[in-house]
Every structure is written in C-alpha cells, then in structure tokens.
Amino acid sequence: MPHTAKVFAIGLALLPIGCGSAGSERYVASARPAAAPALIAVASAEQTAGFDRWAAGFRARAVGKGISPAVVDRAMRVAAYDPDVIRLDRRQAEFARPIWEYLDSAVSDTRLANGRKALADHGAVLSRIEARYGVPKEVVAAIWGMETSYGVNRGRKGIIPSLATLAYDGRRGAFFEEQLVAALKIIQAGDVDPASMMGSWAGAMGHTQFMPTSYLSYAVDFTGDGKRDIWSDNPTDALASAANYLARMGWTTGQPWAVEVTVPAGFREAGKSIKKQPSQWQAQGVQAVRGGRIADHGTASILMPAGANGPALMIFDNFRVISRYNNADSYVMGVGLLSDHLAGRGGLVKGWPRSDRPLTEAERKEIQRRLADMGYYQGEIDGVTGSGTMEAVRAWQMAQGAAPDGYVNEALLKKLR
C-alpha cells in the first residue's frame, strides 16, 4: 500500500487477483469485483478541451515541483483523456465475492503450479533477496503471484495518460496529481521513458505493482545496473523492491504471518484490537489446529474472517506488514496462504461456510445503516465491509451476548431486522 495517502480498508469487499496497486499509500483501485466488459469509450470534444486546459495548468505546477519543462512536455505528449479509466474508477458491483471464492482463486492449482515454477526459475535471486531483506522468498513470490500472476498481467495502460485522466477527472484528483508528479520524477531520473511506463489503469506499475510515490521511496536497483527497473521482463528489481518495502514496514524475520487455531466454546475475544502472547491465548484454550505449542513470536490477535463456522487464525505483526501492501484481510490471507503452500506447509484445515449467500450491496448498506442508527457505526454508508463495519458488528454482538466474531452475513442481517 510510502507517504500517508489512504488505503481503503475493505475487509471482505474482495479484490480481483492480479494487477492490483502497490505500496502502503497505494490506491486500492481494484476494491470491487470487475464489472461486465464494456466498449472502450471515446473522449468527447468537451472532455478533451477540459483536459487540455487542466494539462496547461498542471505543466506550471509540475515545473514548480522540480520537473524540467522538457520532461513535462515529453511525458505529457503521450497523455490524453481516457474515459475508460474513469469508467473503471467509478464502477460499482452489486455483489461482493465470499472470501472462500477469493482464496480459491488466490491459491488455485494453476497459481500454485506457476508459483513453484517461478521459485525454480528465480530461486537463486529470490534467495539472495531473502538474505538481504529477511523476507522469505515464498512471501515475495506470493506477492508477485497475487499482483501480476508472476509478471504475466502487469497492466497494459500507459501510466502517464491514466494518472493524468484521474488527476483531472477522478474522485481523488489531488492524490493522483501527486502520483503523476512522482511519475515525472521517475522519467526525469532516467529509469524509464514515458512510452514504456505501463501498468494498471490506476497507476500501479511493474511486476509487483508499485505506485509512483512508493517507487520513489522503496524501489531498489538490485541488479546494480544503475536503474530501478520494475517494468522489463527481468523481475529482479521488482522482487527486491517488494522485499525492501516489507522490510521497511517492519517485517519480523522468523515470525509467521498467522497460525490456524481452534478456539474454546463461547470464545468472545476475536478481533485485531485484542492482542496477547500466544502462551496467553493457549492458556485460555486456544490451540494450534495442527497440534503443538505456538511459540511466543510476539503479540497476536484472533481473526475469524467467516465467523464461528469458519477457520480461526492467530495473526501476528507480519499480517499487519503484508496489509501495508494492500489493506484487505482477504489479500493478506491470499498472500499468506499462497506463501505457505509454496513453502510446503499446506493450507487451512477447517472448511468455510460455503452455503452462506453473499449479501447484495443494498443489504450491506442496510446493515451499516441499522448499526449507525443504534450508535455502533460512525462510518460511511457505502456497503463496503471494512474494519469499521466489522468492529461495529462486534460491539453490537457483545451487547447482545453473542459471540463477537464481526462476521457480516444474512443471519446477522435478519437479527438486526
């Protein structure tokens, strides 16, 4: 997910896999499932004229921030208003995918097979990256797989046109103008030329999908060729940059991201806000699903992403570190489980409540509205089941004497009604 720009905490409003957006400041552009394909729109004369007026003003602002006029002019020659970028930015989905469907894709047989091949093909460089930054090679490979399917889907949009379009006409113009200036700084430094700066429609670039400001702060030249190249077919700099990012965010070497556990009957302490050492949790009856003692790697919380009928995880600080790459619990679990499989540790033991029906956007908004009316929820009524919604659900459940798992499903909606 860097700077301080907001990352959407979308919880279980699940991300499509591949071509995400990177860095803790990153704009999680893929926060909702993709809408049905649409014909590529053509800019109107009015849109083009408005964009051209904005571009003239932007030129002066960019020069004022240290970009040479020649670089601005050369880069902006490839910029044009792209209505398709705005369509993607404003798309809405009626349904959110259940977490198990997301994870089925994240840890599919194909993704695992391709991940094992990626480890075999790039094992030597990934081992050197692990030795330098302390981040396991399987975690770096898992991020590569989740972001771009190991470099296959790096995005086909020009970064300069996309960022310019979003800076002019997007919902977060100031954020995207900042990203555009950062992209111009990258071009000015000689790391890439404007035409080769390709990525997602939201401005995320390269094998591990860095936003431009994240690139400036965390990308590294691991090959030693004088450039921080995350765009070419050689993924070395991109993989090292992802590891450097996680290390700078506080990765703890030797600490698991999570351990699957069972909780005792009537367990009432699920949630990220409650932290204890594993030994304290185990004294309360929390046990590792696969047996044995869980070492005191650091304080941990108990996460139950599908409620009492789904798996329970003891999550450590490395869970939070992965979330700085993308702040959705589903994404973190995807990276963690994929890395576990690639390391030969296997997946979850307990099954998911697959019979649960996904709620519609209107139903998720109704849950937020009802919780807000009772004083439990203070966030936006947006139908996005993020951490604020789940904390409100937990508070309401505790007041009702129910197990506070924070799980948003049809049964919860019926109780609220």
| Topology of domain 45-91+154-249, CATH | Helicase, Ruva Protein; domain 3 (1.10.8)
Amino acid residing at 108: S
pLDDT of residue 96: 66
Tell me the per-residue pLDDT of 331-385, one tens digit each, with 9 for 90 and over.
Answer: 999 999 999 999 999 999 999 999 988 888 899 999 999 999 999 999 999 888 8
What are the sequence ranges of the domains in the chain?
45-91+154-249, 361-416
pLDDT of residue 171: 79
Measured CA distances, 267 to 115, 200, 273, 311 (Å): 37, 43, 15, 14
pLDDT of residue 241: 98
Collect the ranges in the chain with pLDDT lower than 50: 1-16, 19-21, 23-39, 92-94
DSSP structure class, residue 295: P
Measured CA distances, 266 to 162, 269, 409 (Å): 51, 9, 20
Amino acid residing at 362: A
Residues 303, 308, 311, 312, Cα dihedral to 10°:
30
pLDDT of residue 281: 98
pLDDT of residue 192: 94
pLDDT of residue 20: 47
Write out the two tokens for 70.
């020649």
CA distance 80 to 194: 13
In the chain, % helix, strand, coil (3-state, to 5) comes to 45, 5, 45
CB 275 within 8 A of CB 297: no
Write out the two tokens for 89.
């930015």
CB 138 within 8 A of CB 150: no
For 136, other C-beta atoms within 10 Å of its C-beta total 22
Write out the two tokens for 200.
């997602």
List, in order, residues 6 or more apart from 226 with CB less than 8 Å away: none
Write out the two tokens for 213.
């400001």
Report residue 309: phi and psi, to 5°.
-90, 5
CB 239 within 8 A of CB 126: yes
41-49 own/partner pairs: CB under 8 Å, 24+ apart: 41/83, 41/84, 41/87, 42/83, 43/80, 43/81, 43/82, 43/83, 47/81, 47/83, 47/169, 48/80, 48/81
pLDDT of residue 42: 82
pLDDT of residue 40: 54
pLDDT of residue 10: 31
Tokens 């046990």 belong to 287
Nearest alpha-carbon partner for 352 in 75, 183, 99, 109: 99
pLDDT of residue 16: 45
CA distance 21 to 30: 8
The enclosing H or E element of 303 equals strand 300-303
Write out the two tokens for 83.
């209505």
Q: With H, G, I as helix, E, B as strand and everything else as coil, classify residue 391.
A: helix
Q: What is the largest CA-CA distance in the chain?
A: 69
Rg (CA), the chain: 22
CB 413 within 8 A of CB 363: yes
For 387, other C-beta atoms within 10 Å of its C-beta total 18
Tokens 């069972």 belong to 262
Amino acid residing at 150: Y
